Structure 1
Amino acid sequence: MEKCNILGIQYDNTTVAKAAKDIYEFACSNARGYVVTPNAEIAETCFKNKELKTAVENADFILPDGAGVIMASKILGRPLKCRVTGVDTAKELLLIMSKTRKRLYLLGAKPGVSERAAENISAMYPGIVIAGTHHGYFKDDEEVISLINNADPDIVFVALGYPRQEIFMYNNYKRVNAVMMGIGGGVDIFAGEAKRAPDFFINHNLEWFYRLLKQPTRIGRMMKLPAYIIRAVFWKITSRKE
C-alpha cells in the first residue's frame, strides 16, 4: 500500500473502500495486527506522548481520519487521497464481512452499550456473526484477551478512546488471535448512543466544528488542530530554507 509521511507518521494513502478490502484480506490471512486512524488531535499528541507515538507507528494500517491531517498533507505538498475515518471504514468492512459470515468482537464503551451496538450491527448486517462483546471499563488486559481469544473472532473493534485504545492494541496484538481496529466512539455510534455530524459538516470537513458546537468543553482538545496545522506550515517554511 502506498505510504505518505505527514509530520513523521506514515499514513496509508488509500480510500475507505480500499482500506476495508485490505483489512479484510489481512484478517483472512490469519494475521495478528491492528489498525489505527489518527486525526490531527492524535497526531499532535504523538509529539508529546512517546508511548502513543510508538503505538501509532507500529500499526499495520495507519488511516488518515480527520480534515486536519488532509489539510496538513496539502500544505506539505503530499496530498492524501481522502479522509479515511474509522467509522466509515468499519461500516465498509462490516459489509464485506457480512457476505462471508466473519466473526466480530466489540470491545469498549460503557457497560451495556456494546451489546446494543452488537444488536444493531446484526440487524444492519445480517451475515455478521457477533463473537462477543465487552465494555471498556476493565483493568486486567489478560482477562479480556482471554475472553476475546476464546470467542475466536476474525476482527475486533476496539473503542477505548485515544490514547488508551492505540496503546492497548500495541501492547497486546501479538497475543490477540485476530485483527484489531481502533474506532474511538464508533461503538457508541453503532449503539445509537451518539450521532455523527450531519452530511453537510462531514462533506465540508467540518465534523470537528460540529462536535465543538455539541460539546463546547472540547475546546481544549480542539486547540490541537490549529497547533498541528501551524506545525505543518512551520515545517514547510523551514524545509524550503534548508
Structure 2
Amino acid sequence: MDLQVVQIRKRSEVIVEENKTVISELQTVKNNLFDLNERHLDLQMRTVRDNLIFDGIPEAQEEDIEAVLKEFIHTVMGIEEGIQFHRVHRLGRKIPNKHRPIIAKFVLFKERERVRREAPATLVGKPFGVNEQYPKAINDRRKLLYPHYKQAKRQNRKAVMVADKLFVDNVRVYRSDPLPDDRLVPNRNHYAPAIPMESAPSSKYRSTLRLNVTLPSASNPELRVANTKTRITIESKTPDV
C-alpha cells in the first residue's frame, strides 16, 4: 500500500511538472502571436501611409473624383502645385443626401504630408476635414487614448498622438482607463490593447501557427498523447485604396 502511495505521488509530481512546461509553452505561443499581430499591423500601416481621407466634399451624381479632389486642394486649401495620385475614390455605398468621404493615395509622400500639415490652418472654420488613414485595430487604440489627449490639452500640456501612441510632455502615456483631470500619469501596466482576435475582420491575409503539444493522459499518467495539434489562425484586413 505504501509503495502504491509513493508511486502515485511520483506520478503526480511528474504531471505537475509537465503541466508547468505546457503552460510555459502556451505563454510563449501567446507572446509570439502578439508579436505576429503587431508585425501584421505594421505591414497594414505601411500600405496606407501614403493615404489621406477627405471629409465634407460635396458629391455629385456623375463626377470625376480625382478632378474634384484636385480642385478642392487648389481652390479651398490654396495649394497650387499639381498633386499626383495613384488612386482616388469615395468610401462606402452611396447614401442619398450624404457626402461620402474621399480617400486618396498620393504618388509622393512629401505631397501627402504637405496637404496634411496645411489642412488645420486652411480648413479652420470650414465644413471639411483631412485625416490620416489607419487600420481598424489602430483606430480602436486611438479611441482609448483620445480622451487623455483631450484631457492633456485642457491642462495646457504638450500632447502629441502618433498613430496609436500618445506622448504628453514628451513622455509616452500607456493608460487606457479613464483618469481624473489631475492624475494623467504614465503607466506601462495599462497599455491600450490590440483589437481582440475573435472580432478581427475577415481577410484574404491569413497566418496560421500550429503547435504540437504533448500532454499526459488523464486516465494514465504514464501514457503520453503525442501530436495534439493546436491551430491558431490570425485574420485581419489590409485596408484597400
Normalized per residue, the structure richer in strand is 2
Query: TM-score scaled to structure 1, two decimals?
Result: 0.23
- Bigger RCO of structures 1 and 2 (CA < 8 A, at least 6 apart): 1
Normalized per residue, the structure richer in helix is 1
Larger Rg: 2
